[in-house]
């Protein structure tokens, strides 16, 4: 089985993404996760470009990696300096990594226009830089910038640039589709040509997704002889991103028969993809292939009944191989099968002809048309199910709330204060609390009233709070009176659950979600203590 190595540039190229802002600590945590995943090369950054990247290379020196080799990235030396005096190359060596990757121009106009050097001089810059580094580090990788555009416009020059790097000692020549504009068959053709002209070279591919072809281009390059793929986790990167390693790796390993990170590591792909998006503070893309929340989610009634018979009918790979799982969705396209499956999943066995199922389906479709989306709020669905089964929860009864935010010009932030009145076990509790905002104040006031009776409520932590404005209403009312959906994810150290509220009023929507979240905890505790 041929081995393909994976070179991750999430911390360097990925970090150029518009919405990405990583601290040094974030980068170290991501690097450790990548190593856990079995990634072979981790490009840590560009030490010559900014202090954050330099700091990363200093701090990472105290970490040891099980699988990965750390790489520092930079450019060929500047035309006005010798390699020894070039601050860029000096910065690269100071990073003290086992691998150094430098990029050089291989498209003639880039050398002459963007860099402003004659073509021959550019070849010298490449050769000098590679030779200088190779004498001082274990492994030197040459990133042939804009290679495919260069090869299209002036193939001879592009090959000369590669040759210069190869003869100076580069261990790998990585062909970059820097603008992301190349088509898949063009990539294949160019890679095959390079293999013919430089058969002794070890090749890599570095694709960008501007044409939505980065993954396909990476696979095609491997098929035609490349042995390394450069990309990022979740396809992060400038503009449309880099080749998404979370798609490249399973395709190579599960469908093309290559040895990449191994089955055991592959089964950790989804949790690691999620973990990294959390560190990056980026919402995961639900429809992301292999690891996305929707990747194995079935909505249409026909699909659901088919996969329950034979999973191959609608799943191209078993979800567990990449650490994902199958999901059956509830929606207005739900049939009874979806409700029964969901109820069964939650531990309720319903008969197909049970009138509850019809009632539930009706209520579900009604609420979904108002903006509720039970497919993302399992706990709220379960509470609705119990209500429909005639088993509503009865831990407390709401009477009244009142919340105030007041700000004077000298206050940096408003003061928020709430009072809540609830009946609990026959007694009325009237509590007050301040908070960092109105919802926080209400949440604290409510819990104050309940914790005396239900001490375990102290275990709840709010893990995530999402607000979404349903744009239909924005158009209708044309103002800050939009219909709002709030999702609250709560946890208690053992479980995590998501609850939901929908209203024109953001306080009301948040209140519903918070109340459902508390009710669900109380219910869960009662079940486990029973």
- Binders of a copy of itself among 315-344, rule CB under 8 A? 315-317, 329, 331-333
8 sits near a copy of itself (criterion: CB under 8 A): no
Q: Which is nearer to a copy of itself, 122 or 416 (CB)?
A: 416
516 sits near a copy of itself (criterion: CB under 8 A): no
CA distances from 370 to 239, 274, 525 (A): 36, 30, 31
**What is the per-residue binding string for a copy of itself in 144-183, x denoting contact by CB under 8 A?**
--x-------------------------------xxxx-x
Distance, in Å, from the CA atom of 241 to the CA atom of 210, rounded to the nearest integer, reads 7
Q: Which is nearer to a copy of itself, 114 or 135 (CB)?
A: 114
Tokens of 455: 């001490």
Using CB under 8 A, pick the residue from 28, 89, 95, 514 that binds a copy of itself.
514
Pairing of strands 172-177, 139-145: parallel
Binding to a copy of itself (CB under 8 A): which residues in 64-93?
Answer: none
Selected range binding a copy of itself among 117-125, 133-141, 338-346, 409-417, rule: CB under 8 A: 409-417
309 sits near a copy of itself (criterion: CB under 8 A): yes
511 sits near a copy of itself (criterion: CB under 8 A): yes
Smallest distance from a copy of itself to CB 202, Å: 22
Smallest distance from a copy of itself to CB 26, Å: 9
- Residues in contact with a copy of itself, counted by CB under 8 A, come to a total of 129
**What is the per-residue binding string for a copy of itself in 461-500, x denoting contact by CB under 8 A?**
xxxxxxxxxxxx-x--xxxxxx-x----------------
Dihedrals phi, psi of 307, to nearest 5 degrees: -70, -25
16 sits near a copy of itself (criterion: CB under 8 A): yes
Q: Which is nearer to a copy of itself, 166 or 441 (CB)?
A: 441
Spatial CA neighbour of 395 closest among 340, 336, 457, 334: 457
Using CB under 8 A, pick the residue from 1, 18, 196, 494 that binds a copy of itself.
18
Smallest distance from a copy of itself to CB 307, Å: 9
Q: Which is nearer to a copy of itself, 68 or 418 (CB)?
A: 418
First to last CA, the chain: 54
Interacting residues of 58 by C-beta distance below 8 A, sequence separation 6+: none
CA distances from 186 to 164, 181, 191, 326 (A): 23, 10, 9, 36
Distance, in Å, from the CA atom of 340 to the CA atom of 349, rounded to the nearest integer, reads 8
510 sits near a copy of itself (criterion: CB under 8 A): yes
Smallest distance from a copy of itself to CB 427, Å: 16
Using CB under 8 A, pick the residue from 90, 294, 321, 356 that binds a copy of itself.
294
32 sits near a copy of itself (criterion: CB under 8 A): no
- The DSSP H or E segment spanning 352 is none
Spatial CA neighbour of 7 closest among 225, 250, 231, 175: 231
Using CB under 8 A, pick the residue from 196, 409, 493, 494 that binds a copy of itself.
409
122 sits near a copy of itself (criterion: CB under 8 A): no
362 sits near a copy of itself (criterion: CB under 8 A): no
SS3 call for 392: coil
Using CB under 8 A, pick the residue from 9, 122, 270, 440 that binds a copy of itself.
440
**What is the per-residue binding string for a copy of itself in 253-292, x denoting contact by CB under 8 A?**
--xx---------------------x--x---xxxxxx-x
Interacting residues of 338 by C-beta distance below 8 A, sequence separation 6+: 299, 301, 304, 328, 329, 330, 331
Using CB under 8 A, pick the residue from 76, 209, 273, 431 that binds a copy of itself.
209
19 sits near a copy of itself (criterion: CB under 8 A): yes
Structural Rg of the chain based on CA atoms: 28
Task: Annotate 115-125 with b (16+ C-beta within 10 A) or e (fewer).
Answer: bebeeeebbeb
CA distances from 363 to 60, 308, 381, 432 (A): 55, 25, 11, 35
Q: Which is nearer to a copy of itself, 217 or 380 (CB)?
A: 217
Place of tokens 């990539």: 187
Spatial CA neighbour of 242 closest among 16, 72, 23, 5: 16
Spatial CA neighbour of 298 closest among 313, 285, 283: 313
Binding to a copy of itself (CB under 8 A): which residues in 419-438?
Answer: 435-438
Spatial CA neighbour of 170 closest among 206, 137, 208: 137
């Amino acid at each position: 089985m041929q081995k393909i190595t994976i070179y991750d540039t999430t911390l360097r190229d990925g970090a150029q993404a518009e919405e990405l802002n990583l601290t040094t600590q974030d980068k170290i945590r991501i690097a450790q996760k990548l190593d856990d995943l079995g990634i072979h090369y981790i490009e840590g950054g560009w030490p010559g470009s900014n202090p954050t990247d330099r700091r990363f290379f200093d701090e990472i020196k105290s970490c040891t990696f099980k699988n990965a080799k750390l790489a520092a990235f930079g450019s060929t030396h500047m035309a006005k300096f010798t390699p020894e005096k070039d601050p860029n190359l000096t910065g690269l060596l100071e990073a003290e990594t086992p691998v150094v990757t430098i990029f050089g121009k291989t498209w003639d106009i880039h050398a002459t226009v963007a860099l402003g050097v004659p073509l021959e001089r550019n070849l010298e810059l490449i050769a000098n830089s590679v030779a200088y580094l190779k004498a001082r580090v274990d492994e030197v990788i040459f990133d042939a910038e804009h290679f495919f555009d260069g090869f299209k416009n002036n193939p001879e020059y592009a090959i000369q640039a590669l040759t210069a790097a190869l003869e100076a000692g580069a261990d790998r020549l990585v062909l970059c589709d820097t603008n992301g504009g190349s088509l898949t068959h063009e990539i294949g053709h160019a890679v095959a040509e390079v293999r013919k002209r430089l058969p002794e070279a070890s090749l890599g591919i570095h694709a960008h997704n501007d044409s939505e072809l980065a993954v396909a281009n990476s696979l095609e390059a491997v098929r035609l002889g490349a042995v390394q793929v450069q990309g990022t986790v979740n396809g992060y990167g400038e503009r449309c991103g880099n080749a998404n390693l979370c798609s490249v790796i399973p395709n190579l390993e599960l469908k093309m028969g290559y040895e990449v990170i191994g089955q055991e590591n592959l089964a950790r792909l989804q949790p690691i993809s999620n973990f990294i998006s959390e560190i990056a503070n980026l919402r995961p893309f639900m429809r992301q292939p292999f690891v996305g929340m929707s990747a194995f989610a079935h909505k249409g009634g026909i699909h659901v009944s088919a996969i329950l018979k034979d999973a191959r009918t609608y799943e191209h790979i078993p979800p567990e191989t990449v650490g994902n799982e199958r999901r059956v969705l509830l929606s207005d396209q739900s049939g009874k099968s979806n409700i029964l499956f969901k109820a069964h999943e939650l531990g309720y066995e319903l008969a197909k002809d049970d009138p509850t199922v019809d009632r539930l389906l009706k209520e579900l479709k009604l609420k979904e048309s108002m903006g509720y989306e039970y497919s993302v709020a399992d706990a709220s669905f379960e509470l609705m199910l119990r209500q429909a089964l005639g088993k509503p929860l009865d831990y407390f009864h709401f009477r009244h709330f009142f919340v105030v935010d007041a700000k004077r010009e000298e206050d940096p932030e408003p003061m928020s204060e709430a009072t809540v009145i609830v009946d609990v076990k026959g007694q009325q509790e009237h509590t007050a609390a301040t908070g960092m905002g109105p919802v926080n104040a209400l949440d604290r006031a409510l819990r104050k009233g309940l914790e005396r009776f239900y001490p375990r409520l102290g275990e709840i932590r709010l893990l995530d709070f999402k607000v979404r404005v349903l744009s239909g209403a924005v158009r209708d009312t044309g103002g800050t009176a939009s219909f709002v959906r709030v999702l609250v994810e709560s946890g208690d150290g053992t479980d995590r659950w998501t609850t939901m509220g929908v209203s024109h009023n953001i306080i009301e929507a948040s209140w519903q979600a918070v109340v459902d979240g508390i009710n669900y905890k109380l219910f869960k505790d009662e079940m486990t203590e029973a």
